[in-house]
Amino acid sequence: MNANQYALRTLSVLGLLAITVVPATARRAPRMAGVSGMDRTFMIHTAQANIGEVKGGQLALTRAVAAPVRDFAQQMISDHSHANMDLKGLARSKGVRLPNDTDLKHKRLAGRLARNSGETFDRAYIKAMVAGHREVIAMFQNEASNGRDPEVRSWARRTLPTLRDHLRHAMQVSRAVHR
């Protein structure tokens, strides 16, 4: 067999391999490559924030003295638990694995809050909730406007009104505990 025949035979074998391998790869590719880095990062940070809100709310239920603060904390536990369950389903459908714990930023905040109790805790917790919701709203607005995946973008858009309600509620509670 001369060099040309050998090269032709090698290309034929490689072509057959490509035909049999590509369909298997193509079946996996949309799920794995379907989410941009921006959308993936948004989902991961959102999951961490939701977990942080739930843990912060649980801490507030044990440390807060003002009924409006405890009520707000209970709402955070409920709403952010539900939001995280929704997000998990969306992430699973996109092939994104979400963390099961919050990030270092939320852990440090919880540590600072845990050193307080009573009215001091109430003020610190609500101040953190106002600042945190402002930050998260900005993140959600960015995703709703600039996200690549239409389903992730839509989820962010649908969740924004609840986050805005949380911010308004936190600001009302803040005024009440700072009197």
Residue pLDDT, tens place only, 61-112: 999 999 999 999 999 999 999 999 999 999 999 999 999 999 999 999 999 9
Rounded mean pLDDT of 18-34? 42
pTM of the model: 0.79
Length reported for the chain: 179
CA–CA gap between residue 117 and residue 134 (Å, rounded): 24
Of 115, 128, 119, which is closest to residue 65 (Cα–Cα)? 119
Is pLDDT above 50 for 176?
A: yes
- Mean pLDDT in the chain? 86
Q: Residue 136: in which H helix or E strand, if any?
A: helix 118-146
Residue type, 163: L
The answer on pLDDT for 18 being more than 70 is no
| Rounded percentage of the chain residues whose pLDDT exceeds 70 | 82
Least confident range of 29-38, 71-80, 110-119: 29-38
Element (H, E) at 33: helix 3-33
For the domain made up of 35-177, the CATH class stated in words is mainly alpha
Rounded Cα gap, residues 126 and 128, in angstroms: 5
Domain boundaries, the chain: 1-33, 35-177
Q: Cα-flanking dihedrals φ and ψ of residue 97, to 5°? A: -95, 125
